[in-house]
A and B are shown apart, each in its own frame.
Chain A
Amino acid sequence: MKYPFAGLAAGLTLFLMTAAGANAAASCGTNAAEAATGEPIVIGAITGKTGPDDFSNSTRAAKAYFDCLNAKGGIHGRPVEYLVEDDQWNPEIAAQLAAKLVNDEKAVLMVGNSSFVECGANAEFYKKSGIIAIAGVGVPRECFFAESYATTNSGPRISMLGAMGYALEQLQAKSVVCIGPNIPNVGTWSCDGVMQLAKEKGLTAETILMDPGTADSTSTILQAAASKPDAIILGLPKGVTVPLLTAAEEQGLNQTIKFLSAASAYDLSVPETIGAGWDGNFIVNMEFNDLEATTPDNQNWLAVMNEYGQSSDPRDTFAQAGYLAARIAEAALMSLDPKEITRETASAAVRQMKGFNSDIFCAPWYFGEGQPRHNANTTTRMAVSEAGKWKVISDCTPSPDPELADIRAFEKTAGIAP
């Protein structure tokens, strides 16, 4: 944001543009002329809104989509009642909220969830309750190793290894250093992947785990640069990535080492913040399509946000994830007889989801019926910081994560992957 009122001004501009009909109209559901008036279908969501970071952009986007859907006929005339709760980054609260939404509110699905703590707290409960969560953004390992939990995003590890794949294939890196947060099922998990892949390929790799709260980024960077690696791969929140890059530039390392990052640094504000010193030198992974892509579904996402979201709702990757989760839920529910929508039928419909297409994904999304874990979004792109913007520099490439062996094997047998 240039100055405090930029958001307001941008919002006003977008509003005016919408009013003037400059954007294509949002397309949702059957695009019926009448709003849905039937008996509501209850869908729940848990998000980490208040706490160390605000993850609610995913549920905000899902809410915008459901509002659009309800205004345009809903699920065969039945509106979606979307109940979003804030777990405050507290696993105990997340568990209480899940019980409330699933047991008391009788939600038929959980959609757009995006929380740092919820997977660990609730994945088992969802399985027992026979409810499926089509999450927006999952971060820790638990989100990708649960029977009833499927995310639309790739997760930090796949994203990190997507970046590593690029470093190996395109930059011909022979030695890498992985820097992740000292959180076991996030940083260690991601960097372990980098180490495994390096071992398989016979390269040298090193892991540095850091406290995201450290004030001293220079020492971390000096430690990473000590072994003179070809590439340094970061898997940290953007608020920690920017100071690390600043410290690296201070030491002149932006000229000698390639810096890459998982998708957590893919935010439109980052290239301008880090400045011209990183032009062509900072490369990030993208879990979804370019935020400004002019492809039809990405444009529809933006149109839905403009018409049904708040002007202050961020148009970021979390919002893309929430939008996709809502669309997948809609597709599953649309396949059912509207009179027969229960938790059982909805779950069964999601389980059979296969070949869900959107240009925001690289590859069609599927649930993976009967699988003990789900991770459909494993094909990602890369972008480089250039002149204050991100420039997409790679086509969709499958992540070389060795841990994906089971997923890839399933995709082959199910006829999803060639």
Chain B
Amino acid sequence: MTFLPFLISGLGIGAIYALSGVGLVVLFRATGVLNFAFGAIGAIGAHVAWQILDWKYPLVLAIFAAVAVSTLISFSYGRFLAPLLSHRDTVVRAVGTLSLALVLIAVMGVIWGELPRKLQFPTDQMYQTIFGVRLTYTRILALLLALSMVCAITLLLSRTRLGLDMRALANDRDLSAILGVRIRKTETAAWVITGVFAGLAGLLLGDLVRLQGTFLTFLVIPAIAAAILGQLRSLWVTAIGGLCIGIAEALLTPLQDISPYRAAAPFVIALIAVTILGSTAQASLKDR
């Protein structure tokens, strides 16, 4: 019975890991880029939101600006820098995004520094009590958002021309090009979509976890773990994987011996996932 409260406390963050993981998978499927800068792109958006709220502008504007800034950064990198690496190895393309992450960390350091800050939404004050734990509406919102975004992306991929192009690119890039899929346009669209995901995830993490650039940047790791559980392909498995990672980390809390090290849970899960699913992931990389 003592585990139930922790199940609830893990839900919110798990939902954001799910959201982030799906954002990563959408981009990877369409472009073959594993975006290490996902966390940093979201973090800078969250800082922008904090800044706008600090200037006493309305919340709606702050949220809109945050997502817009994250999307713009993602778009700019995807449209202008990523294509320069498009014919290189998957590893090189992933490392390219790492450089973006480092630049963004530096920018946040210069502008905002590392002073602890709080990003708060009105939904933090509203809650439902379940198993003696307050589940705030921010966390419920995170869950709903993750669910609806996965549905939206699934629909996009299965019902639209853009989705068809994305799926074609994922299967065979060169063949798609010969068949007339406009690669650059499709890839840019994927960067925009992942930017929106990063912006939303950054806002939620800034509220639920802490508003600190470097810290949020490295929260991409649980998201990558979730994406690996989904073999960088399945949106639903990734989403469920993300949720489970968040819950697993929380559920380890009451176990005295493991509790001090529970923050390692996402890494351990990612390692196990790589070991077990490594061969299939390898196959999916070779497609490109």
In the bound complex, CA of A4 to CA of B117 (Å): 13
CB distance from A182 to the nearest CB of B (A): 4
Given contacts A211-B263, A239-B210, A243-B210, contact A250 B13 (CB under 8 A): no
The residue on B at minimum CB distance from A2 is B54
Q: Contact: A250 with B134, CB < 8 Å?
A: yes
User: B54 contacts A3, CB within 8 Å?
Assistant: yes
- Decide if B124 is an interface residue (CB 8 Å cutoff): yes
Bitwise, B111-136 to A at CB < 8 A (1) or not (0) is 11111111000001001000001101
18 contacts between A and B (CB under 8 A): A3-B51, A208-B259, A210-B259, A211-B263, A214-B249, A215-B13, A215-B205, A215-B219, A215-B222, A215-B249, A215-B263, A216-B249, A219-B250, A219-B262, A242-B116, A246-B210, A250-B134, A273-B115
Rounded to whole angstroms, the CA-CA distance of A182 and B133 in the bound complex is: 25
Does B246 belong to the interface (CB within 8 Å)? yes
Q: Which 6 A-B pairs rank lowest in CB-CB distance, beginning with the nearest?
A: A211-B263, A182-B260, A214-B263, A242-B116, A219-B253, A209-B260
- The residue from A210, A220, A252 contacting B134, defined by CB atoms under 8 A apart: A252
Closest to B136 in A: A250
- How long is the Cα–Cα vector from A72 to B13 in the complex, in angstroms? 57
Once A210-B260, A251-B133, A252-B134 are accepted as A-B contacts, the answer to whether A222 and B253 lie under 8 Å apart by CB is yes
A403 on interface, CB distance cutoff 8 Å: no
Q: A19 within 8 Å of B by Cβ? A: no
Q: How far is the CA of A153 from the CA of B158 in the complex (A)?
A: 63
| CB atoms of B54 and A214 under 8 A apart | no
The answer to whether A239 and B212 touch across the interface, beta carbons within 8 angstroms, is: yes
The CA of A131 and the CA of B140, in the complex, are separated in Å by 59
Contact present for B116 and A239 (CB under 8 Å): yes
- Contact yes or no, B261 A182, CB < 8 A: yes
Contacts A54-B114, A215-B219, A270-B116 known; list 19 others, CB within 8 Å: A3-B55, A4-B111, A211-B260, A211-B262, A214-B262, A217-B210, A219-B9, A219-B250, A219-B253, A222-B6, A223-B259, A239-B114, A243-B210, A250-B124, A250-B136, A252-B134, A269-B115, A273-B118, A274-B118
Task: Find the A residue at minimum CB distance from B250.
Answer: A219
A62, chain B: closest CB distance, angstroms: 22
Residues B264 and A211 in contact, CB atoms below 8 Å apart: yes
Question: In the complex the two chains form, what is the Cα distance from A189 to B277 in whole Å?
Answer: 42
Decide yes or no: A242 and B54 within 8 Å by CB, A53-B114, A250-B134 being known contacts: no
In whole Å, how far is A249's beta carbon from the nearest beta carbon of chain B? 9
- A residues in contact with B219, CB < 8 Å: 215
Tell me, yes or no, whether A23 is within 8 Å of chain B by CB: no
Q: Does chain A have a CB within 8 A of B2?
A: yes
A241, B249: Cα distance in complex, Å: 19
Contacts of B212 in A (CB 8 A): 239
- For B5, the closest partner residue in chain A by CB is A222
- Chain A residue numbers with a CB within 8 Å of B10 are 216, 219
**In the complex, what distance in Å separates the CA atom of A74 from the CA atom of B62?**
54
In angstroms, Cα B9 to Cα A220, docked, is 10
Chief secondary structure at chain B's binding surface: helix
Please measure, in the bound complex, the distance between the C-alpha atom of A237 and the C-alpha atom of B134, giving whole angstroms.
26
Residues of B within 8 A of A222 (CB): 5-6, 9, 133, 253
B153 adjacent to chain A (CB < 8 Å):
no
Q: Does B209 contact A (CB under 8 A)?
A: yes
- Chain B 170-200, CB-CB to A under 8 Å as 1, else 0, gives 0000000000000000000000000000000
Q: Are B112 and A4 in contact (CB under 8 A)?
A: yes
Instruction: Report whether A269 and B116 are in contact in the complex, using a CB–CB cutoff of 8 Å.
Output: yes
Chain A positions near chain B (C-beta within 8 angstroms): 1-4, 53-54, 182, 208-211, 213-220, 222-223, 226, 238-239, 241-243, 246, 250-252, 269-270, 273-275
Interface size, B (range):
35 or more
Which of A210, A246, A252, A270 is packed against the most chain B CB atoms within 10 Å?
A246
With beta carbons under 8 angstroms apart, the residue of A243, A250, A273 that contacts B209 is A243
**CB <8 Å contact, B263 and A1:** no
Give the distance to chain B from A252, nearest Cβ to Cβ, in Å: 6
In B75-121, the 8 Å CB interface with A consists of 111-118
Interface centre among A3, A211, A216, A243, by most chain B C-beta atoms within 10 angstroms, is A216
| B2 partner, pick from A226, A241, A242, A246, beta carbons under 8 A | A226
CB-CB nearest in chain A for B207: A246
* Chain A residue contacts of B116, Cβ below 8 A: 238-239, 241-243, 269-270, 273
- B residues in contact with A213, CB < 8 Å: 215, 218, 263
Residues from chain A with Cβ under 8 Å of B6 in the complex? 219, 222
A208: chain B residues within 8 A (beta carbon): 259
Q: How far is the CA of A12 from the CA of B49 in the complex (A)?
A: 28
B205 nearest CB neighbor, chain A only: A215
Separation of A1 and B118 alpha carbons in the complex (Å) = 12
Task: State the Cβ distance, B209 to closest chain A Cβ, in Å.
Answer: 5
**CB proximity of A312 to chain B, nearest CB, Å:** 11
Task: Give CA–CA (A251, B249) in the complex, Å.
Answer: 19
Q: Determine if A1 and B261 form an interchain contact, defined as CB atoms under 8 angstroms apart.
A: no
Q: Provide the B4-15 mask, 1 if CB < 8 A to any CB of A, else 0.
A: 011001101100
Give the distance in Å from the alpha carbon of A209 to the alpha carbon of B112 in the complex: 29
Q: Shortest Cβ distance from A205 into chain B, in angstroms?
A: 15
Contacts of B58 in A (CB 8 A): none
- What residue of chain A has the Cβ atom nearest to residue B132's Cβ? A222
Say yes or no: is B254 at the interface (Cβ < 8 Å to chain A).
Answer: yes
Contacting residues, chain B, for A214 (C-beta < 8 A)? 249, 262-263
B 244-257 binary contact with A (CB < 8 Å = 1; else 0): 00100110011000
Task: Kindly list chain B residues whose C-beta atoms are within 8 Å of the C-beta of A54.
Answer: 114
User: Which residues of chain B are within 8 angstroms of A211 by Cβ–Cβ distance?
Assistant: 260-264
Enumerate chain A residues within 8 angstroms of B114, measured Cβ to Cβ: 53-54, 239
Assess whether B209 is in contact with A215, with CB atoms less than 8 Å apart.
yes
CA distance A176 to B112 in the complex (A): 36
When chains A and B are docked, how far (Å) is the Cα of A407 from the Cα of B219? 44
- Across the interface, which residues of A come within 8 angstroms of B263, CB to CB? 211, 213-216
Give Cα A215 to B247, complex, Å. 12
Q: Shortest beta-carbon distance, A236 to chain B, in Å?
A: 11
- Residues of the A chain whose Cβ atoms lie less than 8 Å from the Cβ of B133: 218, 222, 251
Closest to A52 in B: B214
Q: Give the docked Cα–Cα distance between A218 and B222 (Å).
A: 17
Question: What CA separation (Å) do A16 and B212 show in the bound complex?
Answer: 33
Most B Cβ at <10 Å: residue of A215, A222, A239, A250: A215
